[in-house]
Structure 1
Amino acid sequence: MQRRPENQAVKAIQPLSVLPVFFDLHGKTVLVAGEGEGLEWKKELLTAAGATLRDAGVDGPFDPRSFEGVSLALGDFDCDAGANAFYNAAKGAGVPCNVIDKPAFCDFQFGSIVNRSPVVVSISTAGASPILGQAIRQRIETLLPSGIADWAAAAKTLRGELARRIPDKSARRAVWERFARAAFFRPAEEAGPLLMMSDPMKDTDSGKVTLVGAGPGDAELLTLKALRALQSADVILFDDLVSDEVLDLARREAKRLLVGKRGGRASCRQEDINNTMLKLAQQGRRVVRLKSGDPMIFGRAGEEIAFLEKAGIPVDIVPGITTALAAAAQFGVSLTHRDCAQGVKFITAHSRRGILPDLDWRACADPATTLIVYMGAKTAPELAARLIDEGLDPATPVGVAQGVARADGRAWTTCLSALLTDEIERDLPVMIGIGEVFRQARTGAMAAPAEIAA
């Protein structure tokens, strides 16, 4: 056994404001007294935890004999006199007590709870700020998939059997570590089979690729599923347009590869991206292909899915908020307002050769359809000319948004004829919306054209 050198200080635990403990209340009695909404909620909580409730009424009287056979006491009183009487009686009986919203009469506090029972997470601010505790709880809620409860239940059920099958502690620990990793990204029904497979030391973690929509830029627009994919990834291949704040949410240990493609700039070939994903997945890695907006809208996702599935690699898809919908929210318009737009059409104004693609421009010029144009900054003048040639009114309202849902984003309204001569800067990704719905755009979300040119 190794001894610590005498001159080596013992690492101290930082001071704790409270000690987090978890009390098994099954078969225990809790005395409750008083009245109020807070008490009713706490009674539900205690019952859910397996406690038997004994109601001591609203006004007492309370004395230590009332607390015989009681494990905890909970009260809710408007006045300090009632709280004091209840607390002192509990204290005299040696029963821990909590009086709701009266810290002076509390031996313990209830924390904010994340319930994935048998996984239970509790957060305490030691009474400093319950609202802050709730905010922390909400953040943790986003990190824990609902299926984690099933994984924990399987672990509890099979723990003894696994110990009998694998007596070696280090080997058993390796199985549990693999089990814990899988709990965050694999279906709940795989929990039991993963623990009880015939060869527990065989690494069954097969590689996979998940196409994830990063949204337009604001990290708060990510879906919970996208966040969990980022936090369980081994490698992330991300586009040039993915914001830093989205990448900051990814697992710290994940390797990050920039594979962006931007018009007029050096870009990764799609074939190289496909082969990189394939190679990593074949190595057993969890690969996230992170795309700006939604992966299924002008993101070449179809090519990637077909390539990977042909090679036998499983592919999951996590949708994201596409730029058009985020821009519509910024402008405050409904793309399918029933008074002026019976449909919406998404097109790209940038072909493989970098020019305006050959589309059915007559269909695009339908005044009853909102036209959404991706990648149209360079070809906007030609786009406008084609639409006008096909009969669309030159005065048709237009919304232009650059860097949608980003701190440095800009947005403004104009008309179709103005696109013939206006030059749109290409330092940020551009979305152009054409149609009567943009006549109703709210001005508070937009910068004036003069500000854009400045």
Structure 2
Amino acid sequence: MNIRSLQRNSNPRPGASDQRLAALATLPVFYKLYGRTALVAGGSDAAAWKAELLAAAGAEVHVFAEQLDPAFLSLIARPSVSGAFVWHQRPWSGDSFKGMQIAICDAATEGEAQAFSCAARAAGVAVNVIDKPAWCDFQFGSIVNRSPAVIAISTDGAAPILGQAIRRRIETLIPPSLAKWAQLAHTIRGAVNERLAPGGARRAFWEGFVDRAFGAEPTGGTARQLLAGADALGRSTSHRTGRVTLVGAGPGDPELLTLKAVRALQAADVILFDDLVSADVLELARREAKRMLVGKRGGRESCRQDDINATMIKLAKAGKHVVRLKGGDPMIFGRAGEEIARLQDEGIAVSVVPGITAALAMAAQLGVSLTHRDHAQSVRFVTGHSRNGELPADLDWAGIADARTTTVFYMGGRTAGAIATRLTEKGMDPSMPVVISRSVARKGFVCWTGTLRDLARGMAIVGYDEPVLIGVGPVFAGLNEGQIGVPSRLASLTP
């Protein structure tokens, strides 16, 4: 058996450590057609769409059809943005494939599809038969066009509607102005390479370029400014300091991330993430980024805050872009103030990307307005424990006990009984509605609903193995009292 056969027959175990790439249904390639010829057989609207794509890529498109759909006639009557059309008012034949790079057919029957495919392959021409994947060498994916940045999505013909849905999501992430930035990158790349040798300085330039590319459109003077910046990087002999971005990962559902958070994850060199950050959120990060768990969970062994600060400083001073990824919002019980102050003391640039805090996700899952005008005029987010694990000694319990305020306690699972006692002592009605929510916006979300007098009992039912939120206030009236699980009317809101 020859070497080629050995390689083809080898079947490495899925997930093996030496497997760098999983199996591909198709090979994604970007094929240049400018100035080349392509064949389109058929005069339908579907054939017109494929012909327009080929011409947009610069091809000379030869159309073989006795008649053309009105949309097709209109297409070839107006000047193409890049390529050209040649209409042959007759059916295709074996000679039609001579000199063609690719061939496309809108076949009316399975027999015509087979005949066209066989003829194209005999001529050595890659073939696509519209909506008949069995006779195709390649497929057209859904396209996000920010040319020269072009993104194509393929489902190997299995679910085109899924490819379209993926395209719509990508469209929301990529501003239309990115096309002009991509054109600008193409224009200045040679000049940048002349100014900056491969390595840290060149990478720093392009990282800065990418940061700007997702902002405002470039102006007439942008290229000059960028090249001046490249000159400055080339002259600099000092070590480049990196930066830190504090990013809110939200409550767990990756679809609740902001676009800015996704972009930060895609630009990171190193990601320091909390224990509560879900694996689905981390999946959106740059593949090459190093990931470091710096978990902080109540009642469990955790990284010390001083150690986290020292790690961020060390990495940033080594020139890395560090993303400190925190569950919820960094500025809500996230120790962000301490981290920002420490980084600024070291002269390290730091920015913040907000996230959806867990209390807001809980309100959405329960279908409860935290500031319903019939019940509450304000909302409070209150920590449920201090550094020693007990209730903070300096909380304004009289204010928290105000019946016209909705209060959400974070990290209050182990102090739930003490919370109920303090509120009752300050005059809150023991029958005040309360809710305990566990694993908000995550798999395993459940809630217990009841009254303040039964809060400790409810907490014992929910358990202490996962983080919880405790909501107190009239806005929680109407939920199924005493229930544990997901209220039936809210089942569709769970992840």
- The TM-score range, normalised by the shorter chain, is 0.7 to 0.9
Distance change >3 Å, CA 128–CA 179, structure 1 → 2: farther
Inter-partner Cα distance in structure 2 for 1:27 and 1:213: 49
Number of the residue aligned with 1:155? 185
Retained in 1: the 8 A contact 2:201–2:233? Answer: no
Query: Which structure 2 residue ranges, 5 or more long, are not aligned?
Result: 9-22, 71-87, 488-495
- One-letter amino acid of the structure 2 residue matched with residue 230 of structure 1: L
Q: State the identity as a percent.
A: 52
* 1:435 aligns to 2:473 (yes or no): yes
The correspondence for 2:31, drawn from 22, 39, 58, is 22
Number of the residue aligned with 1:57? 68
Inter-partner Cα distance in structure 2 for 1:278 and 1:241: 23
What's the TM-score, normalizing by structure 2? 0.69
What displacement does 1:433 show? 1.0
What displacement does 1:213 show? 1.2
Structure 1 stretch displaced more, 200-209 or 409-418 = 200-209
The correspondence for 2:354, drawn from 302, 315, 319, is 319
Inter-partner Cα distance in structure 2 for 1:185 and 1:363: 44
Number of the residue aligned with 1:343? 378
Q: In the TM superposition, what whole-angstrom CA distance separates every residue of 1:29-71 from its partner, at most 9, and x where no partner exists?
A: 99796555x5686677567656799995339964469x99999
Q: Please give the secondary structure, in 1, of the residue aligned with 2:244.
A: strand
Number of the residue aligned with 1:216? 251
Number of the residue aligned with 2:141? 111
What displacement does 1:226 show? 2.5
Retained in 2: the 8 A contact 1:72–1:97? Answer: yes
Distance change >3 Å, CA 187–CA 317, structure 1 → 2: farther
Q: In the TM superposition, what whole-angstrom CA distance separates every residue of 1:2-55 from its partner, at most 9, and x where no partner exists?
A: xxxxx987997999856834244589899796555x568667756765679999
Number of the residue aligned with 1:232? 267
CA RMSD of aligned residues (A): 4.8
Inter-partner Cα distance in structure 2 for 1:392 and 1:420: 16
Distance change >3 Å, CA 137–CA 325, structure 1 → 2: same
Q: In the TM superposition, what whole-angstrom CA distance separates every residue of 1:84-131 from its partner, at most 9, and x where no partner exists?
A: 99999999x999886643457867532222333212132344434424
Retained in 2: the 8 A contact 1:412–1:447? Answer: yes
Number of the residue aligned with 2:454? 418
Distance change >3 Å, CA 429–CA 179, structure 1 → 2: same
Distance change >3 Å, CA 34–CA 412, structure 1 → 2: farther
- One-letter amino acid of the structure 2 residue matched with residue 435 of structure 1: G
What displacement does 1:245 show? 4.0
What displacement does 1:429 show? 0.8
Retained in 2: the 8 A contact 1:212–1:320? Answer: yes
Inter-partner Cα distance in structure 2 for 1:368 and 1:87: 73
Number of the residue aligned with 2:85? none
- One-letter amino acid of the structure 2 residue matched with residue 439 of structure 1: A
Distance change >3 Å, CA 29–CA 266, structure 1 → 2: closer
Q: Please give the secondary structure, in 2, of the residue aligned with 1:339.
A: coil
Q: Please give the secondary structure, in 2, of the residue aligned with 1:110.
A: coil
Structure 1 stretch displaced more, 173-182 or 80-89 = 80-89
Inter-partner Cα distance in structure 2 for 1:87 and 1:268: 62
What displacement does 1:305 show? 1.6
Number of the residue aligned with 2:422? 386
Q: Please give the secondary structure, in 1, of the residue aligned with 2:443.
A: coil
What displacement does 1:430 show? 1.2
Inter-partner Cα distance in structure 1 for 2:130 and 2:427: 70
Retained in 1: the 8 A contact 2:249–2:277? Answer: yes
The correspondence for 1:282, drawn from 317, 320, 344, is 317
Number of the residue aligned with 1:207? 242
Q: Please give the secondary structure, in 1, of the residue aligned with 2:437.
A: strand
What displacement does 1:280 show? 1.9
- One-letter amino acid of the structure 1 residue matched with residue 454 of structure 2: A
Distance change >3 Å, CA 341–CA 194, structure 1 → 2: farther
Q: Please give the secondary structure, in 2, of the residue aligned with 1:378.
A: helix
- One-letter amino acid of the structure 1 residue matched with residue 148 of structure 2: P
Inter-partner Cα distance in structure 2 for 1:40 and 1:442: 58
Q: Please give the secondary structure, in 1, of the residue aligned with 2:413.
A: coil
Retained in 2: the 8 A contact 1:26–1:49? Answer: no
Inter-partner Cα distance in structure 2 for 1:113 and 1:201: 41
Structure 1 stretch displaced more, 396-405 or 144-153 = 144-153
Q: In the TM superposition, what whole-angstrom CA distance separates every residue of 1:138-159 from its partner, at most 9, and x where no partner exists?
A: 6876887877645532331023
* 1:309 aligns to 2:355 (yes or no): no
Inter-partner Cα distance in structure 1 for 2:323 and 2:282: 12
What displacement does 1:339 show? 3.4
Distance change >3 Å, CA 202–CA 154, structure 1 → 2: farther
The correspondence for 1:372, drawn from 408, 429, 451, is 408
Retained in 2: the 8 A contact 1:212–1:289? Answer: yes
Distance change >3 Å, CA 289–CA 194, structure 1 → 2: farther
Retained in 2: the 8 A contact 1:210–1:289? Answer: yes
What displacement does 1:372 show? 1.2
Retained in 1: the 8 A contact 2:25–2:156? Answer: no
Inter-partner Cα distance in structure 1 for 2:208 and 2:305: 30
Inter-partner Cα distance in structure 2 for 1:84 and 1:61: 22
* 1:271 aligns to 2:306 (yes or no): yes
Retained in 1: the 8 A contact 2:43–2:68? Answer: yes
Q: How many residues align?
A: 437
Inter-partner Cα distance in structure 2 for 1:12 and 1:150: 44
Retained in 2: the 8 A contact 1:207–1:286? Answer: yes
Number of the residue aligned with 1:452? none
- One-letter amino acid of the structure 1 residue matched with residue 420 of structure 2: A
Number of the residue aligned with 2:152? 122
Distance change >3 Å, CA 420–CA 174, structure 1 → 2: closer
Q: Which of structures 1 and 2 has the larger relative contact order (alpha carbons within 8 angstroms, sep 6+)?
A: 1
- One-letter amino acid of the structure 2 residue matched with residue 328 of structure 1: A
Number of the residue aligned with 2:20? none
- One-letter amino acid of the structure 1 residue matched with residue 362 of structure 2: A
Distance change >3 Å, CA 448–CA 296, structure 1 → 2: closer
Inter-partner Cα distance in structure 2 for 1:104 and 1:164: 49
